[in-house]
Amino acid sequence: MKAVIKKDYGPMELEYTDIAKPEIGEYDVLLKVKAAAICGSDLSLMYGTVTGKQVPYPIVIGHEFAGEICETGSKVKRWKVGDRVVSDNTGYVCGVCHACSKGEYLFCSHRKGMGNDMDGGFADYVKIPGDVLMTFPNCLYRIPDHVSYEAASMMDPLCNGYKAVIQEGELLPGQNIVVFGCGAMGLFAMNAARLASAAKIIAVGMAEDKEVRFALAEKLGATDFVVADEEENVADKVKEIAGPEGVAVVVDAAGAPVVLQQAIDMTRNGGKIIKIGYSSKPVGFSLDTMALKGIVLIGHMGYDSTSWKNCLALLEKGEIDMEAFISHRLPLSKWEEGMELVKNRQATKVILLPEEDGALS
């Protein structure tokens, strides 16, 4: 079968090649991948060294994917051939550590994530091992009948945005929110704010976002826009829009240290800042203002089973236009082109499709 593999530790170690189709055991299931989505974190696999040397290379990358079950092991009872499913991609978890005991499986001390530490979905087929199915039954979800594989393959960022804004931010109808960053994660956060019936959804981006990404942000729910590199003081501009007290919730999907400083300035007393974006640079300023204002800073990572179940229910009701997030569809063989599009901020979500399923060449 065809697959995109990471051959070894380090940058530029990816290759589109032929590998053996996975063989399944009595507790495993095999998926025919129908759609996979490129995540920004996949760029770290291509250009960086995020995956550690303990990983048994080569591995198939890709953690956002959906497909149809085409084989099941003889002992598998919950799943059957023909089931349309999407992978939660958490992968192997121990089930007994502190995080697992709280249901926070993404933080498992022994976790092996699909597409990073074990084979993922940038391939014609992917095996879901029995030890994953048994220790973490929610590793797969059935896709509602009228929801496409492409839409389902983007459940990961959809659930990230939902958890950040609704579960962690606890945004209430009528409250105001700021989202820094108009990349995929920022856009999914804006979508979640729309679902929560926010009064003002203020998108903060850069001048390069104005032509394309601001238009998409508006379609997804953004009501107001601030161009950070055209404003002397971003926090003051936000307060002009939302009022002098500031906003209830700020989502930092950008990551730069200056964003956190601006977020503290614009968050109202007792408000929340949800930090999604990363940066290798130190903060470099005092956090005393955050303490004096009683602001809660939450480090965001991923999603949980609540996010997944609720978002699938919203998709089933037709509450979310997933098509709006897709900027490009490419055959799996053009994965590198897709990565470059994401790297150069020319894409929101790129969907990779199996060649035989009609992807354009």
Read off the pLDDT of each residue in 221-240 and give the average, rounded to a whole number.
97
pLDDT for the residue numbered 361: 31
Same domain? For 255 and 199 the reply is: yes
Q: Which two tokens stand for residue 347?
A: 């894409």
pLDDT for the residue numbered 49: 55
Q: Per-residue pLDDT tens for 281-296?
A: 888 899 999 999 999 9
Measured at the CA of 262, the angle between CA 260 and CA 267, to 5 degrees, comes to 90
Read off the pLDDT of each residue in 220-225 and give the average, rounded to a whole number.
97
pLDDT at 313 over 60: yes
Q: Pick from 137, 129, 132: which is nearest to 25 by CA?
A: 129
pLDDT at 359 over 70: no
Mean pLDDT score of the chain, rounded to an integer? 94
Question: At 358, is the pLDDT very low, low, confident or very high (cuts 50, 70, 90)?
Answer: very low
Residue 311 located in a structural domain: no
Express the helix, strand and coil content of the chain in percent, nearest 5 each: 35, 25, 40
Same domain? For 166 and 145 the reply is: no
**Range(s) of the domain holding residue 40:** 2-153+321-357
Question: At 212, is the pLDDT very low, low, confident or very high (cuts 50, 70, 90)?
Answer: confident
Same domain? For 21 and 40 the reply is: yes
- Give the domain CATH number at 215: 3.40.50.720
Instruction: Report d(CA 200, CA 250) in Å as an integer.
Output: 12
Same domain? For 135 and 180 the reply is: no
Task: Encode burial over 57-83: b for 16+ CB neighbours within 10 A, e otherwise.
Answer: ebbbbbbbbbbbbebbbeebeebeeeb
pTM beyond 0.85: yes
Residue 313 located in a structural domain: no
How many structural domains comprise the chain? Answer: 2
Same domain? For 26 and 60 the reply is: yes
Same domain? For 42 and 21 the reply is: yes
Task: Give 6 or 55, the one with higher predicted confidence.
Answer: 6
Question: H-type helices in 140-232, by residue range?
Answer: 149-152, 155-162, 184-195, 213-220
Same domain? For 48 and 187 the reply is: no
Same domain? For 18 and 100 the reply is: yes
- Give the domain CATH number at 99: 3.90.180.10
Read off the pLDDT of each residue in 86-91 and give the average, rounded to a whole number.
92
pLDDT for the residue numbered 51: 52
Q: Per-residue pLDDT tens for 176-208?
A: 999 999 999 999 999 999 999 999 999 999 999
Same domain? For 223 and 292 the reply is: yes
Instruction: Report d(CA 329, CA 243) in Å as an integer.
Output: 41
Instruction: Report d(CA 338, CA 316) in Å as an integer.
Output: 28
